[in-house]
Structure 1
Amino acid sequence: MHTLAQLRAGELSGITRLDLAEGLTEFPAQIFDLADTLEVLNLSGNALSSLPDDLHRLTRLRVLFCSDNDFTELPACLGQCQALTMIGFKANRISEVPGAALPPLLRWLILTDNRIENLPTELGERPYLQKLMLAGNRLQSLPPSLSHCHRLELIRIAANRLSELPQWLLTLPSLTWLAYAGNPLETEADAAALEGTAHIDWSALRLEQRLGEGASGVISRATWQRNGQPDTPVAVKLYKGEMTSDGSPLHEMNACITAGLHPNLIRVEGRIGDHPEGQQGLVMQLIDPSYRNLAALPSLASCSRDVYADDCRFSAEVALRIARGIASVAEHLHQQGITHGDLYGHNILLNDQGDCLLGDFGAASFHATTDNLETQALQRIEVRAFGILLGELLERIDSGLSDERRKVLEDLQRRCCQPQVLARPGFSEVVRELRSL
């Protein structure tokens, strides 16, 4: 994090990224002194409500973060920034999004947790749009012009007021990761599954070290103390109340429970009861430390693609074991009426043998279990996510894959990613093909 004093003293000359959070109420004019080099500007966590009309003087600016500020309108000056591709205004008080505020090269737009009721037609006139984060607003519809965004791969519309998914949305050729939980359109989670989950009293848990923290909650190692039984090491996830980029943490909890049991899922032991602060949480299977993440989160440059380590390589046996496991668990989730919404390498834990677990249900949504065109489309949107994952695995196989088997897998990968959504195979077919190899 940089300081205003450094900026004013000219100590930041030549930097490409500026991170400034000092309770600012006005845009510091000295930022323009960095115009020759500045590409990423992060002004999140201030008290800004406007930006200068001549912001376009920052001619190299590609990325702008202004989350957790006091904006009530997306500033129109953004639209004049010719190099700007990524905009993040999460957790403001924005109710107006003028079409003029959308720059021509817009690729990634984050407007999570605001007060937006309508979006401009111009949003669908941005041909490079790839990621669109709109969870936690007041949208009752999406602009039909978005049907022209053939590069749109990820959209988060959870926790809005949508009564239906527009048909054009389910036909977008590149759509891969969709989250819509917490809208009136969503099929409710199976109440029987939620009610039937064991309640584990908070007093029976002894928290130990923290294992990790994500947008939706904190995971800790813990000991579960039960009368007449040995103490059991478990993982405890305590959910935060804030809206995440994917949606509500409580929807994530419901999806974890409804998902049920599968060898490639992290087992849920029960829901936490009687927490002294009323916090919601789950007690889960503790994962062996030999498991690691398959990939890292997408970067600013990769946008919607995971980042893999340079030395990430697999034998054909391990890669196929991963592919079979993830296809199998996706098939299981779809049978329960759940789309994961975030089927990515960074949400997969694996060990050296290729045993794998699909985690992070923050973007999960519920759909009807009946076989209709909408259900088929929702499921096959997720099949495209698997196709991308399969392609990433194929790129990293360094031994044991014959030309014949590679050709079969590459054909399967192409069919999973083809632009005609309903022409893609369902996961039952994908599982059968993978098992036949």
Structure 2
Amino acid sequence: MGCFASKGAGSKASRLSRWQATGIVALQDGKLKACILFLVFTSFPDEVLDLGKSVRTLDLTHNKLVDVPEEINKLMNIQRLILANNVIERLPMNIGKLQSIKFIMLDGNRLTTFPDEVGQLVRLERLSISGNLLTSLPETLGSLRNLLLLNVSNNKLKALPDSIGSCFSLEELQANENSIEELPTSVCSLVHLKSLCLDHNNLKQIPPSLLKECKTLQNISLHGNPISMDQFQQMEGFNEFEDRRRKKFDKQIDSNVMIGSKGLDEGVDL
């Protein structure tokens, strides 16, 4: 069933005008209100790419996107790129040209590799690529000096790159549900790290100086790894870590923040 051409043209013009004025393009679940009310995208809409530098936020969550086009570099001022829950298999090299971007979410896709060019995104603060098929991460990740959060959970990683220690601003690292066997010692250089989540990997030990060097670490979760609490408690810096962890939860209690069922053990899950 179709619709009147004039009505469709008016809707498109209004939509483009709104996107250009706000800089926000949100087409989650393929709900584009045009002639077809529920259109599932398999590729980037041309009209979005044509907006070029006007776009600040692009959200194409829950569609059927297979890849990201090379023309993504047209969105030169984009700050937030949200492409979760699609079927994306690859990222273009041109993604490295998005020099204004601060937030990327690619959770729940089919990525098997991550391009080296991501290291060019020097303003990136939050990168979430959980639920993909990644077996490795590029060493260029270490160039992301402003990165605050990295989520690589639910992939097929066997290791984290040595360069991770150069992500000096990193505060939260989530790498649950992988096959990681050991952490690079460079992790000990993450002096701003507050939370380290490595549940359900194959870790038998963690770098001996981790607790001593990471002086802001408040939460570490190692549930489902072949590592014991005794090993953890014998690490240098454990007492100081324990003090920070308890102060964190005492502050939450004082602020009437709900604490989960694990209570005060929640910050050190082994």
- Give the superposition deviation at 1:5: 8.1
- In structure 1, the residue matched to 2:185 is 167
Offset at 1:76?
Answer: 2.3
Tell me what 1:149 maps to. Answer: 167
Confirm whether residue 62 of structure 1 aligns to residue 66 of structure 2: no
Give the CA RMSD over aligned residues. Answer: 3.3
User: What is the CA-CA distance between 1:132 and the residue it aligns to?
Assistant: 0.3
User: Stretches of 4+ moved more than 6 A in 1?
Assistant: 4-7
Q: What CA distance in whole angstroms lies between the structure 1 residues aligned with 2:242 and 2:51? A: 42
- 3-state SS in 1 of match to 2:163: helix
Distance in 2, Cα, partners of 1:382 & 1:67: 38
Rounded to whole Å, the distance in 2 between the matches of 1:106 and 1:6 is 37
Q: Which residue of 2 aligns with 1:125?
A: 143
Shift of the alpha carbon at 1:96?
0.6
Identity of aligned residues (%): 25
Rounded to whole Å, the distance in 2 between the matches of 1:122 and 1:66 is 22
Partner of 1:8: 12
Q: Specify the alignment match of 2:60 in structure 1.
A: 43
Cα contact 1:6–1:12 (8 A) shared by 2:
no
TM-score where L is the length of structure 2: 0.70
Distance 2:97 2:88 in 1: 18
Offset of residue 100 of structure 1 = 1.2
* SS of the residue 1:147 aligns to: helix
* 1:229-267 superposed Cα distances (whole Å, 9 cap, x missing partner): xxxxxxxxxxxxxxxxxxxxxxxxxxxxxxxxxxxxxxx
Aligned partner of 1:369: which letter? M
Higher Cα Rg, which structure: 1
Partner residue of 1:365 out of 217, 223, 226: 223
2:197 aligns with one of 165, 179, 184: 179
Under a length normalisation based on structure 1, what TM-score does the superposition of the two structures give? 0.45
Find out whether 1:81 has 2:126 as its counterpart: no
Secondary structure of the 1:64 match is strand
Aligned-partner SS, 1:54: helix
Give SS of 2:25's match.
Answer: strand
Give how far 1:35 is off.
Answer: 3.2
Paired residue secondary structure (2:48): helix
| Of 46-55 and 58-67, the range deviating more from structure 2 | 46-55
How far residue 127 of structure 1 moved from its aligned partner, in angstroms, is: 0.9
Note closer, same or farther for the CA distance 1:389–1:41 as it changes in structure 2 (3 Å cut).
farther
SS at 2:196 equivalent: strand
Matched, 1:134 2:134: no
The count of aligned residue pairs is 218
Superimposed CA distance per residue, residues 118-176 of structure 1 (whole angstroms, 9 cap, x where no aligned partner): 11010011111111000001111111011111101101111100112333224410111
Q: Check the 8 A contact 2:53/2:77 in 1, yes or no.
A: yes
With over 3 angstroms needed to count, the CA separation of the structure-2 counterparts of 1:386 and 1:154, relative to structure 1, is: farther
Query: Is the 1:368–1:375 contact (alpha carbons within 8 Å) kept by the matching residues of 2?
Result: no
Superposed, 1:293-372 pairs within 5 Å as 341=220, 365=223, 368-370=228-230, 371-372=233-234
* Distance across 2 between alignment mates of 1:385 and 1:91: 34
Give unpaired runs (5+ residues) of structure 1.
Answer: 188-338, 342-362, 395-426, 428-437
